[in-house]
Amino acid sequence: MKETHSSENLPRHGLACPLCAGGSLTEGWFSLSYADRIFDFPQCRFCFSYFCHPMPEEATLIQMYDAGYVESGEDCGDDFAKTKFDEVRRFLRSVKPQTLIDYGCGSGQLLIEARELGWKVLGIDFNPDFAENLRQEGIKVIRPDVPAGDQVDVLHLGDVIEHLTDMENQFPKILDLLKDGGYLVAHGPLEANPNMFFRFVRAIKKLRGNRVTQMPPYHVILATTKGQRTLFERFGLKEVEYRSSEVAWPAPSTFTAAGTDPRKIILLLLRKISRLTSRARMDELGNRYFYVGQKPELSPDQKS
């Protein structure tokens, strides 16, 4: 199959990478088992990201993302949970407060802080019941299928893109929430970047010979830096800022968190070594990204 990286030329038959749209794939090294189904993760030969196949349907998603998922803090398993909005806060303070949507707002921590900074805010979440506390604060939260009203100046996607199961339809609809000239602020995991920790986990998995792990496919996309940046570019966003870092998750962040479990202690030490070896090439090896992109202004002819 000819490799392609344009959403306009997606292969009509077969699979394509949700990030770069490449149709040249190779078999992945692991699979997940959930709800009596096997979910494979093929790898893209162009951007080296992995993605879930088949993608979970709505009924499976509802079963996966219950209240227990949010309470477990699956996306924020270490000390970066306390600081993961720091770069977003910095950006919001650097521009004039206007209108903001937090897509995938969860419990709404960022919405509360943004409103305190003077922003007019709206939350969107797959399950608005997660944000019951926001209604008590007078902050509106709606489902993605409910009209959001006027387009906004800033759209925030925090740990969202790795959950999208239909990128070619979902991502354009999400970007439609943003004004021309507005800013997308996004951050999330880069779980396929080849840092030392990732290589260790992959090697152990291959040595054990059991490709199938019993767990839900919470993250249906395991991205690389190349894949993540290509996604933003091919949907017309102009990159303003991009930076990577390596955080402890999914390893414990402290010896206190690791306790006396030798496996957790090994993972903690391995991550510390991995962070040291990634410093010189963090853009390629980091396991988390922060991105700011601008939606282009359309000319009068383009608008008509």
pLDDT digits (tens, 9 = 90+) for 101-124: 999 998 888 999 999 999 999 999
Residue 39 CA to residue 72 CA, distance in Å, equals: 22
294 SS3 class:
strand
Range from 77-81, 89-93, 159-163, 258-262 carrying the lowest mean pLDDT:
77-81
pLDDT digits (tens, 9 = 90+) for 140-155: 999 998 999 999 999 9
The answer to whether 120 touches 99, Cβ cutoff 8 Å, is yes
pLDDT digits (tens, 9 = 90+) for 15-69: 899 999 999 999 999 999 999 999 999 999 999 999 999 999 988 988 887 755 6
45 SS3 class:
coil
Q: Is the pTM of this model over 0.85?
A: yes
Dihedral over Cα of 278, 282, 284, 288: its sign: positive
Give the domain 7-74+86-296 fold: Rossmann fold (3.40.50)
The answer to whether 263 touches 207, Cβ cutoff 8 Å, is no
Residue 115 CA to residue 100 CA, distance in Å, equals: 9
pLDDT of residue 11: 43
The answer to whether 18 touches 192, Cβ cutoff 8 Å, is no
Q: 285: closest CA among 225, 203, 204? A: 225
Residue 50 CA to residue 219 CA, distance in Å, equals: 10
